[in-house]
C-alpha cells in the first residue's frame, strides 16, 4: 500500500447554517396525517416563502383540503418504486417548490412497483436464472430495490427543500418461538432507513386529530417517536396539542438558523407566498422596493427575490389570445363533437365579429350542427 498523502485540516468556529427539514408523520387512517402535514407545510411557508407542492399517491385525498390550504397538487400513481418517487420529488424541486409534502411514502414500500413487489420479481428472476429454489435467491434479490431506496434517500437529503412525509401505520406483533407474541403497537409501513433520517418524527394514533403521542408503554412505538432537544419546547408531552402552522413556522425558523433575524422581512416573504392577485402583488413589490437597498442578514435578498418571482408568475394575467381569422373559426366549429360545444364556439365566434361573422363561418356552423343532430337522432 502506498504511503498516505499528507492531508491538511483546518478548524473554524462553528456557525449554524440553514438546513432543510425532513419531517415524518406516522399514523393509521383517521389519525389526521394529511391535514396535519398541510398545516405544518403552511407554517414552514410562513418563514421560507416559496410554494408548497403536494405529491399525492392517495387518489386525490389532499384535494379534500384545497379550500383550506394553498398548494400545488401532483397526482402520483403506480408504479411506486423508489426511483419513481425520486423523479416526482426532483420535479417539484426543479420547479422551485420550497416545501414538498409526500402523502404517502408507504406506497414506496408495499404499493404496486414498490420495494416489496420489486424484491419478489427479483427473487423469481434470480431463481430462474440460477436454477435454484426461490428461498436461495431471496437475500440477493434485495440488492437492487435496496440500492434504489438508498439512492432516493441520499438524493433527497441533498435537496435544498423542506420535506414533510406521511407514512401509513398498522398494529404489529412479533412472534417469538416458545413465547407469547410481543405487541409492537403502531408501526410505520416503510423501510427502517427512512426512520433514521428524520429530523422530527411524530406518531399520530387513531382519533388523535393530529396531536402526536410522545409516550408509550411499547418499546417499538417509542423507537419511532423522534423529538430532538432543540424541538422539545414546541411539544407538551403531558397535554399533546394538534400539529399546527405555528409549529411548522417554529421548525422552519430553527432550520434557517435559529432566532428571527429580520421579522419584517420574514413577514414579507410569507405575504408573497399567500398573495394571489395582481393588486396584492404590486403592493408587496412596493414594500420590497422600500427595503431592498437596506442592509439585510445573509440569504434574505435571495429568499425575497425567489418569493417575488414566484408570486409574479402566479398572479400574472394570462396573455391575451390573438383573434382568430375566419378559417380558424371554421376549423374550430367543424371540430366540435357536441351540440353544446358547438353552440358555445358559435357564440364566441359571433362575439369576435360583433354579431356578423363571415359567411364561411356561418356555413361551417350550420353544416356541423346538422351533422351532430343527425348523429344523435
pLDDT at 321 over 90: no
pLDDT band at 218 (very low <50, low <70, confident <90, very high): very high
Q: What is the DSSP string of 89-126?
A: HHHHHHTT-SEEEEE-STHHHHSTTSHHHHHHHHHHHH
Q: Which of 347, 295, 28 is nearest to 186 (CA)?
A: 28
How far apart are alpha carbons 49 and 262 in whole angstroms? 14
Query: Could you tell me which residues are beta bridge partners of residue 168?
Result: 27
What's the mean pLDDT in 128-135? 94
* pLDDT one-digit tens code per residue, 234-250: 998 888 889 999 999 99
Beta bridge partners of 103: 56
Summarize pLDDT for 333-347 with one digit per residue, the tens. 888 888 888 888 888
pLDDT tier, 18 (very low <50, low <70, confident <90, very high otherwise): confident
* Model pLDDT, residue 372: 82
Separation between Cα atoms, residue 370 and residue 334, nearest integer Å: 11
CA distance 191 to 294: 48
What's the pLDDT score for residue 273? 74
- 101-130 pLDDT, tens digit per residue, is 999 999 999 999 999 999 999 999 999 999
User: Torsion over CA of 213, 219, 220 and 226, rounded to 10 degrees?
Assistant: 50
Please check the confidence at residue 319 and state whether its pLDDT lies above 70: no
Q: Judge contact between 163 and 198, C-beta under 8 A.
A: no
Helical pair 33-48 and 263-274, crossing angle rounded to 10 deg: 120
Position with higher pLDDT, 80 vs 4? 80
Residue corresponding to grid cell 422539545: 232
- pTM, rounded to two decimals: 0.70
Q: How many residues does the chain have?
A: 377
Q: How far is CA 62 from CA 40, 72, 84, in A?
A: 14, 10, 20
What is the average pLDDT score of the chain? 88
Amino acid at each position: 500500500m502506498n504511503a498516505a498523502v499528507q492531508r491538511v485540516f483546518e478548524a473554524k468556529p462553528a456557525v449554524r447554517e440553514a438546513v432543510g427539514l425532513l419531517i415524518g408523520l406516522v399514523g393509521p387512517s383517521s389519525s389526521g396525517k394529511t391535514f396535519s402535514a398541510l398545516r405544518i407545510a403552511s407554517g414552514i411557508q410562513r418563514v421560507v416563502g416559496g410554494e408548497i407542492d403536494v405529491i399525492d399517491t392517495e387518489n386525490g385525498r389532499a384535494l379534500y383540503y384545497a379550500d383550506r390550504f394553498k398548494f400545488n397538487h401532483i397526482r402520483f400513481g403506480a408504479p411506486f418504486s423508489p426511483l419513481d418517487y425520486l423523479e416526482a420529488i426532483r420535479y417539484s424541486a426543479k420547479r422551485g417548490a420550497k416545501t414538498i409534502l409526500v402523502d404517502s411514502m408507504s406506497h414506496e414500500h408495499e404499493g404496486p412497483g414498490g420495494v416489496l413487489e420489486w424484491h419478489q420479481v427479483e427473487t423469481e428472476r434470480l431463481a430462474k436464472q440460477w436454477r435454484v429454489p426461490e428461498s436461495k435467491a431471496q437475500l440477493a434479490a434485495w440488492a437492487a430495490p435496496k440500492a434504489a431506496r438508498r439512492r432516493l434517500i441520499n438524493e433527497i437529503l441533498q435537496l435544498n427543500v423542506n420535506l414533510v412525509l406521511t407514512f401509513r401505520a398498522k398494529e404489529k406483533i412479533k412472534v417469538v418461538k416458545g413465547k407469547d407474541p410481543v405487541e409492537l403497537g403502531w408501526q410505520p409501513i416503510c423501510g427502517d432507513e427512512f426512520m433514521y433520517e428524520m429530523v422530527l418524527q411524530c406518531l399520530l394514533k387513531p382519533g388523535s386529530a393530529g396531536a402526536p403521542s410522545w409516550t408509550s408503554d411499547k418499546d417499538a412505538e417509542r423507537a419511532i417517536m423522534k423529538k430532538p432537544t432543540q424541538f422539545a419546547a414546541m411539544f407538551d408531552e403531558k397535554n399533546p396539542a394538534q400539529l399546527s402552522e405555528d409549529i411548522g413556522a417554529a421548525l422552519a425558523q430553527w432550520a434557517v438558523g435559529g432566532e428571527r433575524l429580520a421579522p419584517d422581512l420574514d413577514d414579507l416573504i410569507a405575504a408573497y407566498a399567500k398573495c394571489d392577485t395582481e393588486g396584492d402583488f404590486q403592493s408587496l413589490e412596493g414594500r420590497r422596493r422600500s427595503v431592498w437597498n437596506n442592509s439585510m442578514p445573509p440569504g434574505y435578498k435571495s429568499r425575497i427575490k425567489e418569493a417575488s418571482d414566484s408570486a409574479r408568475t402566479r398572479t400574472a394575467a394570462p396573455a391575451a389570445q390573438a383573434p382568430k381569422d375566419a378559417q380558424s373559426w371554421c376549423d374550430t366549429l367543424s371540430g366540435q363533437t357536441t351540440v353544446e360545444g358547438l353552440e358555445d364556439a358559435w357564440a364566441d365566434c359571433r362575439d369576435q365579429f360583433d354579431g356578423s361573422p363571415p359567411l364561411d363561418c356561418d356555413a361551417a356552423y350550420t353544416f356541423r350542427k346538422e351533422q351532430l343532430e343527425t348523429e344523435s337522432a
